[in-house]
């Protein structure tokens, strides 16, 4: 059993190397299992923190942890990030030149590596396997383990043979990790990796920081632009169904000045790689893509995912929206839901030859439709689909935040049904709406439909609202749309029943726009400051030629932007700021934080003084600089005197000099009756000498303090 001491040790590694204070749910148990030499099968959603589950035991256990990971680009980023945490990590795959390969292998053989990331096809070569028998292996970690299963969404033939590792090195613990939520795939993975007896760690698949939004698709480009308006400069992915739509959308966004690129399987590999790399390195913000994009894109700060078109199953929807918010910060998933898309996907499914498969796909599509049309908490529907029951509504989806108002629309529904019945022919939604609104356009006149009873049934309902009503009636099964007859409305059995006998038809009230202006995410940070910190991160990343997020996550920078005082202690307490990173990078961020702190302090304590108290150079003397350093760390006058071995008076003299050099010493905090002193000085005889002035005050001040007050008044411009 993992002892208390081992647990303490694990927590120490967590803090020192990775800069985190506490384990997330299950991380500790998973780590302990491996420290005990046991196998583990970890099912945890994206962003749950799977990597640490094998990284920490690899660091702690004797020997090297071998990590199998499917994508070369991911390996590099992961290793870059680890190295920056001071961990001995390397990767071994086909992207290395032969000299580099040799070097990695010799480091591996010398036993200095804590972690080695290996591509599966390299791992399973005879020569590499022979090496494994000579070197101490701490554990095998199979990341993205669903790749071994043909049921999964990303089967990789190279993964299949990984089960052999169990026969070759039966004593080395294996941990398999995946974010797949699908039961069938899980069983398959366990079997193929011979992990059926391994302890399973299954966490909730909820992604609480993702806000789910569904909007009726009307003018998708406008809707997307409107949405992006709130996410300026943030990273996001827009999924479209076809290559053509991808390209059109990308061009349109570029025209609107958005840094967007298209991505689909029809593009040359090199171009795709470039787009992906630009995205990872924040050179572009938005990727417009087919579902070809995503697997292996481990970008933690994707803030939004938009589905321009309907995904064909809840699995796909979950997978794709799951690419948002890996870093745990608030993110949004927007689905534009339109009945044309439903028809399009239906048509695609109708082409599926195998009847069983077709049935499965229709079932999956129907579940997706139900989710899109849900009038109850979407997260509940989503998790329920994966077998996770949840009592409470989530409070972070469009339905919870702004429950749709519903109304009984049975009269309207009946009128629409009658209209379609009267019109007798192939008419799609748009035409029927025109009739119901009483239009006398050429087509209606030619068809003599201005004579229908329902012509002009209600012109006061506008076109958009009518469209919405008819779509909902389609969704609710009163009409179907005949795809082979250009979407002609057909009355269904349910519709005929309603015509025979009026029953309540509950529709959601029409709401123009995307319903989410409810609570804008502000992430609780100063955006201007955050942006400056992001720039520093970019510069550092550029210098080291790594992806920015391998240095610091947005979480770290967000917390950093909230520091009131960037002392060493405060910097080290930031989530994601381990020792190693602190030493390497903290100073790069300091000047910006200090400047900001000065600005803020000045703003707070004396409105109008912020511009005046802004030091341009270093403090006049070294002694004053020492005082300033301690003052800035929040030390009191007593503490500074004690620490520097100087008198309290000297500290005050330093303060005075600093204030004269425009350093922001918060003088008002130093004197109890500061306001009284200021008032009395304001009203004092302008011709009084300094000593008379001091005498006239009702509050007793030392000479040093008095001089400091005067210096401060001068600095902020009241004399
Ligand atoms: P996954 O592989 O499950 O998608 P990651 O391992 O990439 O997730 O972790 C997601 C994010 O959460 C990363 O930024 C990681 O550094 C962070 N993280 C992981 N564990 C913790 C923890 N215990 N405390 C704070 N942040 C954590
Ligand atoms: Zn909800």
Q: What is the pLDDT of residues 514-532, one digit of tens each?
A: 555 444 555 567 888 999 9
Residue 196: count other Cβ atoms within 10 Å of its Cβ: 12
Domains of the chain: 4-202 (3.40.50.300), 210-401 (3.40.50.300), 406-508 (1.10.10.10), 527-605 (1.10.150.80), 622-715 (1.10.10)
Q: Whose CA is nearest to atom 25 of ligand 1?
A: 20
Of the residues 17, 51, 179, which should be mutated to test ligand 1's pocket, given the most ligand atoms within 8 Å of the CB? 51
Model confidence at 615: pLDDT above 70: no
> What pLDDT sits at residue 9?
95
Nearest ligand, CA 214: 2
Asked whether 123 and 68 are in contact (CB, 8 A), the reply is yes
Instruction: Tell me if 203 CB under 6 Å of ligand 1.
Output: no
| Ligand 1 centroid distance, CA of 553 (Å) | 10
Sign (positive/negative) of CA torsion 456, 459, 464, 465?
A: negative
Scanning the structure block, which residue is given the tokens 């590792």? 165
Instruction: Tell me if 549 CB under 6 Å of ligand 1.
Output: no
Nearest ligand, CA 203: 1
> What pLDDT sits at residue 34?
95
- Specify burial of residue 357 (Cβ count, 10 A radius: 0-12, 13-18, 19+): exposed
| Nearest atom in ligand 1 to 24's CA | 23
* 68-76: average pLDDT: 85
Instruction: Tell me if 326 CB under 6 Å of ligand 1.
Output: yes
| Nearest atom in ligand 1 to 14's CA | 23
> What pLDDT sits at residue 521?
53
| Nearest atom in ligand 1 to 45's CA | 3
Instruction: Tell me if 47 CB under 6 Å of ligand 1.
Output: yes
pLDDT one-digit tens code per residue, 6-40: 999 999 999 999 999 999 889 999 999 999 999 99
| Ligand 1 centroid distance, CA of 269 (Å) | 30
| Nearest atom in ligand 1 to 555's CA | 14
Instruction: Tell me if 575 CB under 6 Å of ligand 1.
Output: yes
Nearest ligand, CA 212: 2
pLDDT tier at 260, thresholds 50, 70, 90: very high
- Those residues whose C-beta lies under 8 Å from the C-beta of residue 236, and which sit 6 or more positions away, are 228, 285, 286, 287, 302, 303, 304, 305, 306, 324
- Provide the pairing of β-strand 115-118 with 89-92: parallel
> What pLDDT sits at residue 607?
47
| Ligand 2 centroid distance, CA of 393 (Å) | 5
3-state secondary structure string across 53-114: HHHHHHHHCCCEEEEECCCHHHHHHHHHHHHHCCCCEEEECCCCCHHHHHHHHHHHHCCCCC
| Nearest atom in ligand 1 to 143's CA | 2
pLDDT one-digit tens code per residue, 119-164: 998 999 999 999 998 899 999 999 999 889 877 667 888 888 899 8
Model confidence at 648: pLDDT above 80: yes
Q: Whose CA is nearest to atom 20 of ligand 1?
A: 49
Q: Whose CA is nearest to atom 17 of ligand 1?
A: 49
pLDDT one-digit tens code per residue, 345-404: 888 888 888 888 888 888 788 889 888 888 778 998 899 888 787 878 888 998 888 888
Model confidence at 564: pLDDT above 60: yes
Instruction: Tell me if 300 CB under 6 Å of ligand 1.
Output: yes
Nearest ligand, CA 13: 1
Gap between the Cα atoms of 207 and 18, Å rounded: 23
* 437-456: average pLDDT: 95
* 481-487: average pLDDT: 70
Percent of the chain with pLDDT over 90: 49
| Ligand 1 centroid distance, CA of 53 (Å) | 10
In the sheet that 286-289 helps form, which strands lie side by side, from edge to edge? 210-216, 331-337, 302-307, 235-239, 286-289, 260-263
> What pLDDT sits at residue 88?
97
Gap between the Cα atoms of 314 and 345, Å rounded: 13
Model confidence at 5: pLDDT above 50: yes
Q: Tokens representing 693?
A: 């002035």
Which residues on neighbouring strands pair with residue 336, listed in sequence order? 215
Model confidence at 610: pLDDT above 50: no
Model confidence at 431: pLDDT above 60: yes
* 43-65: average pLDDT: 95
| Nearest atom in ligand 1 to 300's CA | 14
- Those residues whose C-beta lies under 8 Å from the C-beta of residue 5, and which sit 6 or more positions away, are none
Gap between the Cα atoms of 374 and 351, Å rounded: 28
Model confidence at 719: pLDDT above 60: no
| Ligand 2 centroid distance, CA of 381 (Å) | 9
Gap between the Cα atoms of 433 and 494, Å rounded: 20
Instruction: Tell me if 52 CB under 6 Å of ligand 1.
Output: yes
List CB-based neighbours of ion ligand 2 within 5 Å.
Answer: 377, 379, 393-394, 397, 400
- Provide the pairing of β-strand 331-337 with 210-216: parallel
Instruction: Tell me if 48 CB under 6 Å of ligand 1.
Output: yes
Gap between the Cα atoms of 238 and 333, Å rounded: 10
Instruction: Tell me if 46 CB under 6 Å of ligand 1.
Output: yes
Gap between the Cα atoms of 386 and 313, Å rounded: 12
What value, to the nearest 5°, has the Cα angle with vertex 324 and ends 320 and 330?
145
* 690-715: average pLDDT: 86
Nearest ligand, CA 398: 2
> What pLDDT sits at residue 583?
94
| Ligand 1 centroid distance, CA of 264 (Å) | 29
> What pLDDT sits at residue 484?
63
> What pLDDT sits at residue 380?
87
Q: Whose CA is nearest to atom 26 of ligand 1?
A: 20
Model confidence at 608: pLDDT above 50: no
Q: Tell me, what DSSP letter sits at residue 666?
A: -
Percent of the chain with pLDDT over 70: 95
Q: Whose CA is nearest to atom 19 of ligand 1?
A: 49
| Nearest atom in ligand 1 to 326's CA | 10
Instruction: Tell me if 24 CB under 6 Å of ligand 1.
Output: yes
pLDDT tier at 305, thresholds 50, 70, 90: very high
Higher pLDDT, 639 or 618: 639
| Ligand 1 centroid distance, CA of 82 (Å) | 13
Instruction: Tell me if 49 CB under 6 Å of ligand 1.
Output: yes
Integer CA distances (angstroms), 507 to 320, 399, 466, 553, in order: 29, 14, 12, 43
> What pLDDT sits at residue 613?
57
> What pLDDT sits at residue 406?
86
Of the residues 15, 46, 49, 141, which should be mutated to test ligand 1's pocket, given the most ligand atoms within 8 Å of the CB? 49
């Amino acid at each position: 059993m993992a002892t208390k001491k081992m647990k303490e040790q694990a927590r120490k590694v967590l803090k020192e190397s990775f800069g985190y204070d506490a384990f997330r749910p299950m991380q500790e148990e998973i780590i302990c299992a491996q420290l005990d030499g046991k196998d583990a099968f970890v099912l945890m959603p994206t962003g749950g923190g799977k990597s640490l589950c094998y990284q920490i035991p690899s660091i702690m256990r004797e020997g090297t942890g071998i990590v199998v990971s499917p994508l070369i680009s991911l390996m590099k980023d992961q290793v870059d990030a680890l190295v920056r945490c001071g961990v001995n990590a390397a990767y071994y795959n086909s992207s290395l030149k032969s000299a580099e390969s040799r070097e990695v292998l010799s480091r591996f053989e010398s036993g200095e590596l804590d972690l080695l990331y290996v591509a599966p096809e390299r791992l399973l070569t005879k020569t590499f396997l022979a090496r494994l028998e000579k070197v101490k292996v701490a554990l095998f970690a199979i990341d993205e383990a669903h790749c071994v299963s043909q049921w999964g969404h990303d089967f990789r033939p190279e993964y299949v043979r990984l089960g052999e590792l169990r026969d070759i090195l039966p004593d080395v613990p294996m941990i398999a990790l995946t974010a797949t939520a699908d039961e069938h795939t899980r069983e398959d993975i366990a079997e193929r990796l011979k992990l059926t007896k391994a302890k399973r760690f299954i966490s909730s698949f909820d992604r609480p920081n993702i806000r789910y939004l569904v909007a009726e698709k009307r003018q998708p480009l406008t809707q997307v632009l409107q949405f992006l308006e709130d996410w300026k400069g943030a990273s996001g992915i827009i999924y479209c169904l076809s290559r053509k739509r991808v390209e059109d959308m990308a061009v349109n966004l570029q025209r609107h000045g958005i840094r967007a690129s298209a991505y689909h399987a029809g593009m040359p590999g090199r171009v795709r790689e470039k787009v992906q790399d630009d995205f990872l390195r924040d050179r572009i913000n938005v990727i417009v893509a087919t579902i070809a994009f995503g697997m292996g894109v481990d970008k933690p700060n994707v803030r939004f995912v938009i589905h321009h078109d309907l995904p064909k199953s809840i699995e796909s929807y979950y997978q794709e929206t799951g690419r948002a918010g890996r870093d745990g910060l608030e993110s949004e998933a927007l689905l534009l839901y339109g009945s044309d898309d439903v028809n399009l996907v239906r048509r695609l499914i109708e082409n599926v030859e195998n009847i069983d498969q077709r049935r499965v796909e229709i079932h999956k599509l129907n579940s997706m439709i139900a989710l899109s049309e849900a009038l109850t908490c979407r997260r509940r529907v989503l998790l329920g689909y994966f077998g996770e029951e949840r009592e409470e509504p989530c409070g972070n989806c469009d339905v919870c935040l702004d429950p749709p108002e519903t109304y009984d629309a049975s009269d309207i529904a009946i009128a629409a049904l009658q209209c379609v019945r009267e019109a007798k022919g192939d008419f799609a939604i748009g035409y029927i709406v025109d009739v119901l609104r009483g239009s006398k356009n050429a087509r209606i006149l030619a068809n003599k439909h201005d004579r229908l009873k329902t012509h002009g049934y209600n012109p006061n309902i506008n076109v958009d609202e009518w469209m919405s009503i008819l779509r909902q009636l389609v969704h609710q099964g009163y009409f179907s749309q005949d795809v082979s007859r250009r979407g002609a409305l057909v009355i269904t059995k349910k519709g005929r029943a309603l015509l025979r006998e009026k029953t309540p038809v509950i529709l959601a009230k029409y709401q123009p726009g995307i319903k989410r202006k409810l609570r804008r995410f502000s992430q609780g940070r100063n955006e201007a400051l955050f942006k400056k910190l992001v720039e520093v991160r970019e510069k550092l990343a550029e210098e080291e030629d790594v992806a920015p997020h391998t240095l610091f996550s947005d979480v770290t920078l967000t917390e950093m932007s909230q520091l009131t005082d960037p002392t060493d202690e405060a910097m080290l307490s930031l989530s994601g700021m381990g020792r190693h990173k602190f030493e390497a990078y903290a100073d790069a961020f300091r000047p910006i934080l200090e400047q900001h702190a000065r600005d803020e302090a000045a703003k707070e304590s004396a409105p109008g003084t912020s511009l005046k108290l802004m030091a341009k150079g270093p403090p006049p003397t070294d002694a004053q600089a020492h005082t300033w350093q301690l003052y800035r760390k929040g030390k009191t006058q007593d503490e500074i005197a004690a620490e520097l071995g100087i008198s309290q008076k000297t500290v005050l003299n330093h303060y005075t000099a600093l204030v004269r050099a425009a350093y922001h010493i918060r003088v008002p905090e130093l004197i109890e009756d500061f306001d009284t002193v200021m008032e009395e000085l304001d009203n004092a005889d302008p011709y009084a000498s300094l000593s008379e002035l001091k005498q006239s005050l009702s509050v007793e001040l030392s000479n040093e303090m008095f001089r400091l007050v005067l210096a401060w008044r001068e600095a902020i411009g009241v004399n």
